[in-house]
Amino acid sequence: MSITDVVYLPEEPAHDQAIEEINAEAFGPGRFTRAAYKIREGGPHDMALSFVALVDGEVVASVRMTPVGAGEGQAVLLGPLAVRPKHKNVGIGRKLVRIAVEAAEKAGHGLVLLVGDAPYYGPLGFERIPAGQIAMPRPVDPARLLANEIVPGSLAKLIGDVVHADLARQLA
């Protein structure tokens, strides 16, 4: 398979089952205990900013984006990102991140947040969030709390408990 055989599309409800299988395979049952999962329980992800990669019509990778808020700040939480083992290391993961960040920017979002490995996400524009600035609903290694600041100043507004945007609006 070459990278040119991969088709990237916005997520649709019909992709749900395949995405669930991909995430189960990538993260196992432990995925339900993750901090980001807890936030995503607070409301839906944004389908318009979430994408799948297809090879021969089959979903082989997915990235989801969920609107969140903390303090005065707003962001989209990127994840889960997962690629089927057979299709790893051909650039699909990086491409999905780039597409999702670009879509977030076009939709007017100023900040993309995630919990992940800095060596992977650093070259994609993500930097470590200052320790103690935000709090996730479950323990997270601060070195894995990363943000891509699309609009300068948007990260400084994100302070305190990160919750789903629907909950943030209720709390405001």
Residues at the interface with ligand COA (CB under 6 A): 26, 81-83, 88-94, 116-117, 119-120
Residue nearest to ligand COA (CB): 93
**What minimum distance in Å lies between the beta carbon of 143 and ligand COA?**
12
**What minimum distance in Å lies between the beta carbon of 72 and ligand COA?**
27
Say how far apart CA 112 and CA 149 lie, in whole Å.
7
* Closest to ligand COA by CB, 95 or 157: 95
**What minimum distance in Å lies between the beta carbon of 50 and ligand COA?**
14
**What minimum distance in Å lies between the beta carbon of 81 and ligand COA?**
5
* Closest to ligand COA by CB, 54 or 90: 90
**What minimum distance in Å lies between the beta carbon of 53 and ligand COA?**
8
Say how far apart CA 27 and CA 42 lie, in whole Å.
20
* Closest to ligand COA by CB, 119 or 132: 119
* Closest to ligand COA by CB, 75 or 81: 81
Q: Please, which residues have CB within 8 angstroms of residue 45's CB and are 6 or more apart in sequence? A: 64, 65, 66
Check: CB of residue 45 under 8 Å from CB of residue 77. Answer: no
Say how far apart CA 69 and CA 164 lie, in whole Å.
6
Say how far apart CA 35 and CA 21 lie, in whole Å.
20
* Closest to ligand COA by CB, 21 or 166: 21
Q: What is the DSSP string of 75-128?
A: EEEEEEEEE-GGGTTSSHHHHHHHHHHHHHHHTT--EEEEES-HHHHGGGT-EE
